[in-house]
A = this chain, B = another copy of it.
Amino acid sequence: MASGSDDDPRIGDISEGAVLRAILSRTAPAAHAVLGPGDDAAVIDAPSGSVVASADTLVEGPDFRLAWSSGYDLGWKSAAVNLSDIAAMGAVPTGLLVSLAVPADTRLSFITAMADGFRECCARLAPGCSVVGGDLTVSELLMIAVTALGDLDGRPAVTRAGARPGDVVALAGELGVAAAGLGLLFARFRDGATAVPVDRASLDAVQQRALDRQLRPVPPLHLGPVAAEAGAHAMMDLSDGLALDASRLADASGVTIALSGAALDALAFGGDRGRALGGGEDHGLLAIFPDGGVVPEGFERIGTVTARMGAPVLVDGQPVDETGWDPYRDWDHAR
């Protein structure tokens, strides 16, 4: 088997320098990096005179299973979920710093596949952005901690706090598709409580798409700056489910978000409204636009902002359960 061969060494058997060289040889030139990896620190362009920065970590167990995710998948997903937070401020991603903690028996090919996933996710979703730095440690558990950096292109950041009564609530992306993919993994690819490799051929095309969105999300990053340019009053990335995330935006702005059930149903994967409201990891953009202004292409109207009326989020006038996505509950229940 290739997995035992000398040309695919274990991380614990080679030097950190050799691992880093293998990763860096797969890193795209960074358009925004003044000074890339290899020194004490990287230097990245910040033409606006400020830098947008966000950190998010994927941990084996609560966030992924190695039976279900390849190294490539994990690199892609780690990049996508972090880049999405930058886009949600209206910023353009400029660089990623990646801190890997990996078990000593991890194969080098797994790490280089992860580097490929980082590179290709950036190339597809955030051209010009790439891995500019990071570090590697040995650990008993695989963990991928990423910091994403971005530039606002001279605009103010679009926070969660600017929604005003009368504004339009809009969404870019699908609802519930990542949760549908996770549901398939738990329902179909376990032996008892143990995750087993995915047999894609056993899934139909719709199911394969849900699985792909769970393992390699494709958030609409380019629409973050578009929304900012269009004058969005508030915006956020949907990581924990629409109901919970919308309640956070409503609380930050001191308003109520009144959603249309029919509009949700039209965007809900498989027409499942409950999963559309509660399912996490979709990484769509929830944006609030001024009434009477233009809602940019790629966003769908899903409701309106009202003065605060008790509940932070309503669907067709009724309060919704804000219990959203909790990785410890939603991933670990089947551990």
Contact = CB atoms under 8 A, between A and B. Distances in A.
Interface of A: 12, 34-35, 38-57, 59, 61-63, 85-86, 88-89, 91, 95, 97-99, 101, 104, 132-135, 137-141, 143, 145, 147-150, 152, 157, 159-161, 235-237, 252, 327-328
A236 B56 CA distance: 28
Contacts of A38: 252
A40 B143 contact: no
A43 B49 contact: no
Q: Which of A12, A52, A143, A145 has the most CB of B within 10 A?
A: A145
A43 B143 contact: no
A157 B59 contact: no
A93 to B, nearest CB: 10
B95 A56 contact: no
Contacts of A56: 99, 135
Which 8 pairs show the lowest CB-CB distances between chains A and B? A145-B145, A46-B46, A41-B54, A147-B147, A40-B88, A55-B97, A40-B85, A99-B145
A190 B321 CA distance: 52
A157 B52 contact: no
A55 B137 contact: no
A54 to B, nearest CB: 4
B139 A34 contact: no
A72 B54 CA distance: 24
A55 B157 contact: no
A51 B30 CA distance: 14
Contacts of A95: 53
A135 B51 contact: no
A143 to B, nearest CB: 6
A285 to B, nearest CB: 10
A166 to B, nearest CB: 23
Contacts of A43: 50-53, 89, 152, 157
Contacts of A86: 40-41
B139 A55 contact: no
A160 B45 contact: no
Contact of A328 (B89, B138, B147, B328): B138
A59 B101 contact: yes
Given A43-B152, A51-B149, A159 B89 contact: no
Given A41-B53, A57-B137, A133-B54, A34 B145 contact: no
B53 A132 contact: yes
A59 B327 CA distance: 22
A48 B43 CA distance: 11
A44 B94 CA distance: 14
